[in-house]
Amino acid sequence: MKPARLLLLIMVVLLLSTGLRFFRIGVQSYWNDEGNTRALTNYAWPEVVQAVAADIHPPGYYLALKGWRILVGESEFALRGFSALAGVVLVALLYRLGREYFNARAALMAALLGAVNPFLIYYSQEARMYELLATLSAASFLLFSGWLRSTRPTPRLRDPDGSGAGGGGFGRWDLGVGYCLISAAGLYMHYAFPLVLTAQNLAALGGLLFHRRGNGLKRLGAWLGLQLLTLLLFAPWLSTAYRQLTTWPAAREFHPFVSALADVTRYLAFGRTVPTEQVWIVLVGVGLLLALGLMRGGQTITPFLWLAVPAGLTLALGLLTEAFSKFLLVAVPPLCLLIGNGLAGPKVRGLGRKGLSFGIWVLGFGIFLGTYFSLSNLYFNPAYLRDDYRGIARYVESLQRPGDAIITIAPNQVQAFEYYHRSGAPVFPLPHTRPLDKAETAAALAGIGATHRRIFVLFWGDEQADPGHFVEDWLNTNAFKAGDQWFGQVRLATYAASKPAAEITTPFGARFGDSITLAGFTLQSNILSPGDILQMTMFWQTDARLEERYKVFVHLYAALDQPPVAQQDGEPGGGRLITTEWKPGEIVADNHGVLIPPDLSKGNYTLVVGLYKLFEETRLPITLDGQDAADQLELDVITIR
């Protein structure tokens, strides 16, 4: 390929990678971890290190981003731009590595694959350290490979007897020092970087054994010296790293090998924004191109180890989970390199060449087709959007009134949420400790409920912060839940902070299905204003063990033949009192709230309740005083002032 044409193609690939990484980069709000990133960069330089020591990451990324933030600001576009820029640098490094290991054609294909890789693009658009981790791993391998090659004996340096003892040895000092600095930076960037060092040590051992004549011991000593220097550069943080890694809770999952291998391949090739089952045929093509890249020739052992070690250890350590799958990002560059080598074309002649070339391009087309669907989901599919704290803040502000409060679970959500919610209702992070202190948390909830009329609760990461769901159970028992909404993976629940009734004020005796009776209800008030929460306690009873789970619907109608103007559907007790756990003969007090829309017109509205099956949405028939009452029961008239 002519140099001018090659340069033009490289520039096109780099422009493509830049466009894909900055496209819509500021559209989505900061999510939880990004909010924590922004908050940490608010601190003074020494305070950043102190704060990070209490977290689970080393300080390198936060210190680097703080410097970047001083230059460009703290908007979503600005902070995420640091990762996007690192992603473009990674594509350039892929081309350079392709030249190191293979040839110009393979290098160009590897860079193109890296430019469009959805997994890399996803983390190029996140204000976190993972894209820089992948970039540093590529830079480290480039310096490692160059240094290792420089230690080999050269013909002009060989001794007269041909032993080669007079050449190579310690290698180029500039490459060695650069390797140590970049590798130490990788260790300060993320604790997944030792996966990269493990792969490099295996590759170095293989290289030293393969070229062991003459100066093998000198080269081994030089390599161990580089590892020692890297470790010494990381030594100031070593004790903190040990404490963090040995005390931080981490759930692990182990999957059957075939499905786990398919999931790993899908993550590496197509990222998080497409299910494995939708691209499984293309994953076979990825495997075929990978095999072809290994067989085609060049320096394949090093990128293969770079790919296999992080992926294999991720599976072996049970880290193939939603939370830890991003550690696989360090294995994406070698996959691009090896598949790029496969796409570079067959090294055969004759009639078979055209057929094999056609097959390769068919496989390549399949990969780019899967990439297109994944990127389309990343940019436009609401199902794959990050947690929308901007949307939560706007929703709460649209309903805001004096006496509101906001609770964030887990507490570090506040870092993301308060970027968008800068005034209005006070925010209370709960619980204050891990593990949760029940007495202290109950006292805090009681204090919030005593001084506020409505409570908005942001549930995220509660399986770690509150695995027993103590906060939600307390609220479902001591307040009136008016519904849930999802904003990405954040669930926003709304409560009226009022003491529930302990007794029935309106006896009823309606029969639902064969076994359930609504003994009566207590309505706090049937005169409300827009923005209020209707508060009602229903008292249920069953005379037989229930085999089905049912939801309760509470609807408010202007006219029964029209859709409800307000509603709340949910299992009894906010999911705390599921029907299959009801005991025959016992009274179940079930609190429900309905948020009255702020723009609802004044007038009279009919309050209607009913039950339906959780999984089939089939309503239970109702009888009242021996008469058929269809499948919904009118309880009262609500007046909106």
Q: Tell me the pLDDT band of 87, cut-offs 50, 70 and 90.
A: very high
The pLDDT value recorded for residue 155 is 57
Mean pLDDT of 102-122: 97
Q: What is the DSSP string of 360-421?
A: HHHHHHHHHHHHHHHHHHHHH-GGGPPP-HHHHHHHHHHH--TTEEEEEESGGGHHHHHHH-
The pLDDT > 70 percentage for the chain reads 95
Specify the 3-state DSSP secondary structure of 99. helix
CA nearest neighbour of 542 among 501, 488, 583, 590: 583
Q: How many alpha carbons fall within 13 Å on the CB side of residue 258?
A: 3
Which strands sit side by side in the sheet containing 480-487, from one edge to the other? 427-429, 404-409, 454-459, 490-496, 480-487
The residues, ordered by sequence, that sit 6+ positions from 176 with a Cβ below 8 Å of its Cβ are: 147, 170, 222, 226
Q: Identify which has the larger pLDDT, 321 or 274.
A: 274
How far apart, in Å, are the Cα atoms of 361 and each of 102, 344, 467, 546? 19, 10, 50, 59
Rounded-to-integer distance, Cα 512 and Cα 629, Å: 10
The pLDDT value recorded for residue 323 is 82
Question: Strands 550-557 and 527-528: what pairing?
Answer: unpaired
The pLDDT value recorded for residue 302 is 96
Rounded-to-integer distance, Cα 377 and Cα 89, Å: 24
The pLDDT value recorded for residue 350 is 53
How far apart, in Å, are the Cα atoms of 524 and each of 143, 358, 369, 473? 72, 74, 58, 21
The residues, ordered by sequence, that sit 6+ positions from 562 with a Cβ below 8 Å of its Cβ are: none
Rg (CA), the chain: 31
Rounded-to-integer distance, Cα 23 and Cα 391, Å: 20
Rounded-to-integer distance, Cα 641 and Cα 639, Å: 6
From its phi and psi, is residue 145 left (phi > 0), alpha (psi between -120 and 50) or beta?
Answer: alpha
Amino acid making up residue 393: A
Q: Tell me the pLDDT band of 160, cut-offs 50, 70 and 90.
A: very low
Rounded-to-integer distance, Cα 130 and Cα 281, Å: 28
How far apart, in Å, are the Cα atoms of 511 and each of 90, 253, 521, 545, 569? 67, 46, 14, 15, 19
β-sheet bridge partners, residue 595: 533
The pLDDT value recorded for residue 357 is 83
Token pair of 571, please?
């299992």
pLDDT single digits (tens) 614-640:
988 899 999 998 888 889 999 999 999
Question: Strands 633-640 and 454-459: what pairing?
Answer: unpaired
Amino acid making up residue 330: V
pLDDT of 159 strictly over 70: no
The count of other CB atoms within 10 Å of the CB of residue 447 is 11
Mean pLDDT of 290-307: 94
Q: Tell me the pLDDT band of 57, cut-offs 50, 70 and 90.
A: very high
Rounded-to-integer distance, Cα 520 and Cα 411, Å: 39
pLDDT single digits (tens) 178-221:
999 999 999 999 999 999 999 999 999 887 777 666 577 888 89
Sign of the Cα torsion 248, 48, 79, 417 reads positive
Which strands sit side by side in the sheet containing 516-523, from one edge to the other? 587-595, 533-542, 516-523, 506-512, 622-624, 627-628
β-sheet bridge partners, residue 128: none
How far apart, in Å, are the Cα atoms of 29 and each of 23, 75, 425, 462? 15, 10, 20, 21
- 218-221: Cβ within 8 A, 24+ apart: 218/168, 218/169, 218/170, 219/151, 219/168, 219/169, 219/170, 219/171
The pLDDT value recorded for residue 167 is 45
Rounded-to-integer distance, Cα 480 and Cα 495, Å: 5
CA nearest neighbour of 634 among 529, 501, 526: 526
Q: Tell me the pLDDT band of 319, cut-offs 50, 70 and 90.
A: confident
Domains of the chain from N-terminus onward? 140-155+163-248 (no CATH), 389-496 (3.40.190), 506-640 (2.60.40.770)
C-beta separation of 607 from 586 below 8 A: no
pLDDT single digits (tens) 470-526:
999 999 999 999 999 999 889 999 999 999 998 999 998 999 999 999 999 999 999
C-beta separation of 193 from 182 below 8 A: no
Specify the 3-state DSSP secondary structure of 461. coil
Residue found by looking up tokens 């072809």 in the block: 292
CA nearest neighbour of 219 among 210, 183, 102, 305: 210
The pLDDT value recorded for residue 347 is 66
From its phi and psi, is residue 297 left (phi > 0), alpha (psi between -120 and 50) or beta?
Answer: left
pLDDT single digits (tens) 517-529:
999 999 999 999 9
How far apart, in Å, are the Cα atoms of 404 and each of 188, 428, 443, 468? 42, 11, 18, 26
pLDDT single digits (tens) 61-70:
999 999 999 9
